[in-house]
Structure 1
Amino acid sequence: MARSTSTTQGRPRDPDVDRRVADAAIDLFGAAGWAGFTVEAVAKRAGVGKASIYLRWPTKEALLLEALRQRFSGVTAVEPANVREELVQLALQLFRRYVGDTGQAAFRIALEASRIPGVAEHWAGIRNSQVVAARAIVRRGIQRGELPPDTPVTLLLDTLSGAVMNHVQTTPPVAPEEREAAAETYSRKLVDFILANATAG
């Protein structure tokens, strides 16, 4: 008999339980990956009964997917300015994904999404949002004469996102209150490097 995906009739969902379970799921996935991700372990971290989780989500795949939907969204369109500022905005969005409480889970999902049913599609949508945003930035940059007409979007985005991920992984973490300033400083240096190569010659 399939488990219900909703709470018992007449009993309202407790938003605090939902939040604790989602936070615990993200923390556990970041620490242990899909191989170590179990409903029992999530329940223990969240301080709730396993039955409470199964009343909300019938499988561990559904649980992880909902937690990711709550904590990870796609790249949003950047505010039109000039190509340098737009690329810095994009880099900062990527930074915010890979640092802080959700950072480890973001790295895990980038590696493991393809083998988790449902999650692969969600992560593909997030990745596609990066491509859409980068294409729009390059298109505007070409129209304004800031970039050559043959600027390769894929190579530019690979360089930007790969550098951000590598920097987060290899640089000692900074205090939360210094995180945004450090990310912006690096993002500006990175974008200047990318643009210098994109416009060379």
Structure 2
Amino acid sequence: MTGNALDAAPAAGRPRDPEVDRRVLRAAAEVFGEDGWGRFTVDAVARRAGVGKASIYLRWPNKKELLASCLEARVTPVADIDTGSVREDLVRLAGQMLTSFFGDSGRVTTRLLMDADRIPGVAERVKELRQSQVLAARAIVRRGIARGELKSGTSVTLLLDAIVGGCLNHALSTPDELRGRVGEGLTDYAEQLVDFVLGAVTAG
């Protein structure tokens, strides 16, 4: 079957092929992760996905909406966590961040953190994602202070900057050829990072 036959617009009433959606979104993530917004084009995504441009425009009106859908499909929001232990909560938070940075969408996640503010129509959605992450993370630290696990004067911002920044730096400083091996030890790294940071602010 030729690419044109595969990508021909469906007959009236015929549902879209979800496999084409997945291929396009996967290709969009790869193109954006490798080249950033400046070289992110529907042509490039279509070539990577092995589909026609018409098939993409049938689903998304422009490249901004395509990238926004890619973001929503592949970047996992940080969930609120409350295990009753601030250490365990922060270890799980760090684990979520590390998985996001080292997973299949890792390049997309880190590239979005650097490029999103320059992408009209996408920046707003990334801002909403960031806001939900910040609120969930700050709630973890505030509960730890309220339970007496952390010193009363603990800076929520500095503590989270140290942990989230540590996770991001760990991903950015890891060479591509080592990402697979480093990714196998993310749980241990999350625990070591959190214990190191908490050493300065743990009550008592």
C-alpha distance after superposition, 1:22-43 (max 9, x if no partner):
0000000000100110001100
Q: Distance in 1 between matches of 2:17 and 2:128?
A: 29
Matched, 1:108 2:92: no
C-alpha distance after superposition, 1:115-167 (max 9, x if no partner):
11221112112211221122221122112210122221111111111111111
Equivalent residue, structure 2, for 1:65 = 68
Q: Distance in 1 between matches of 2:20 and 2:100?
A: 24
Distance 1:155 1:9, change over 3 A: farther
C-alpha distance after superposition, 1:44-79 (max 9, x if no partner):
111111000011111100111111111113111114
C-alpha distance after superposition, 1:63-120 (max 9, x if no partner):
1111111111311111423111110000000001111321111111101101112211
Q: TM-score, normalised by structure 2?
A: 0.88
1:139 counterpart (132, 139, 142)? 142
Q: Distance in 1 between matches of 2:150 and 2:164?
A: 19
| Unpaired runs of at least 5, structure 2 | 1-8
Instruction: Give 1:51-130 correspondences, 5 Å limit.
Output: 51-130=54-133
| Unpaired runs of at least 5, structure 1 | 1-5
Number of paired residues? 194
Instruction: Give 1:1-201 correspondences, 5 Å limit.
Output: 9-172=12-175, 173-175=178-180, 179-180=183-184, 182-199=185-202
Which is further off, 8-17 or 46-55? Answer: 8-17
Amino acid at match of 1:128: Q
Amino acid at match of 1:115: R
Q: Is the 8 A contact 2:148 2:203 kept in 1?
A: no
Q: TM-score, normalised by structure 1?
A: 0.89
Amino acid at match of 1:175: G
Q: Distance in 2 between matches of 1:167 and 1:118?
A: 29
Residue 174 of structure 1 and its aligned partner are, at CA, apart by 4.6
Amino acid at match of 1:149: S
Give the root-mean-square deviation of aligned CA atoms. 1.9
Q: Distance in 2 between matches of 1:168 and 1:24?
A: 22
Q: Percent identity?
A: 53
Q: Distance in 2 between matches of 1:191 and 1:165?
A: 14
Q: Is the 8 A contact 2:42 2:56 kept in 1?
A: yes
